[in-house]
Amino acid sequence: MTDQSAEADDSGSEASTGPQRPDYDLPDALVLEDPAQYRALFEETRHKIIALLSERAATVSELALTLDKPKGTIGHHVQVLADAGLVHVVRTEKVRALEAKYWGRTARIFFYERVGAAVGDGQRLLDGAAAEVGRLEAAAREAGTDVEGVLDVNRRDVRVPVERVREFRERLGDLLVEFAEEPRGGDTTYALIFGVFPSELPQLPARDTDPDTGADA
């Protein structure tokens, strides 16, 4: 697959020609089965690296410059991701006397099937996203910016059969792919994050049962 996000038309402006794709071939999905993969992915810097590689392949130097972190630090994180099978070198280019390695994802979407291994790290990722939303909200208010339409975060805890959970996961995964392939434009990068995981919310007793004694009301 190639990057088909935009090309110049006769007037010199950019026109969308199809979904946004990275500039390297990669499978649609990878199911994460090893707990080490969760530990590799659900770390803030590594998660940002994975997100950036959805745009295009990049060198460690490019990632370090973009994330404003030392090259050695980013090199370490990339190696952790590579050891977990989440990124790999997709091409190399000669740059003067050196060979530049361009890294890419091993799949467009990572699916988390082992709930027990994922839920703790996944919850931390969601908590981090919630904290980021709060920070942006506070910054917008301080700057006098209207936050309406900028931030939209919600949560529902629902008791449903596991088969329905799988269906929702698949549908949400399709939506995530659609979002990721949206032609690039505008001045702001938005995040789409979702998680389907066992909740700690307790269940109400049956409606015809006395909650204090368990006897029928």
> pTM of this prediction?
0.60
Q: Domains of the chain: which residue ranges?
A: 19-150+161-180
Under a CB-based contact definition with an 8 Å cutoff, are residues 205 and 211 in contact? yes
Strands 29-32 vs 87-95: parallel, antiparallel or unpaired: unpaired
Q: Report the distance separating Cα 57 and Cα 53, nearest Å.
A: 6
135: its two tokens: 């920070």
Burial of 123 (0-12, 13-18, 19+ CB in 10 A): middle
- The predicted pLDDT at position 2 comes to 25
Mean pLDDT over 88-113 rounds to 87
User: What token pair was written down for 138?
Assistant: 């506070």
Yes or no: say if 5 and 86 are a contact pair by the CB < 8 Å rule.
no
Per-residue CA distances from 73 to 18, 46, 86, 139, 150 (Å):
35, 11, 18, 29, 32
> What is the spatial distance between Cα 71 and Cα 64, in angstroms, rounded to a whole number?
5
Q: What is the mean pLDDT of residues 19-44?
A: 84
> How high does pLDDT run on average in the chain?
77
3-state secondary structure of 84: coil
Give the per-residue pLDDT at 3: 27
Q: What secondary structure does DSSP assign to 192-208, as a single string?
A: ---------PPPPPPTT
> In the chain, count of helices (H) and strands (E)?
6, 6
Query: What tens digit of pLDDT does each residue of 124-152 get?
Result: 666 666 666 667 667 667 776 665 555 66
**What is the residue type of 216?**
D
DSSP one-letter code for 69:
-
**Secondary element (H or E) of residue 102:** strand 98-105
CATH number assigned to the domain with residue range 19-150+161-180, chosen from the 4 options 3.30.56.10, 1.10.3720.10, 1.10.10.10, 3.20.20.60:
1.10.10.10
Cα dihedral sign for 203, 163, 130, 188? negative
Beta bridge partners of residue 76, listed in sequence order = none
pLDDT in tens, 1-23: 222 223 223 333 344 456 677 88
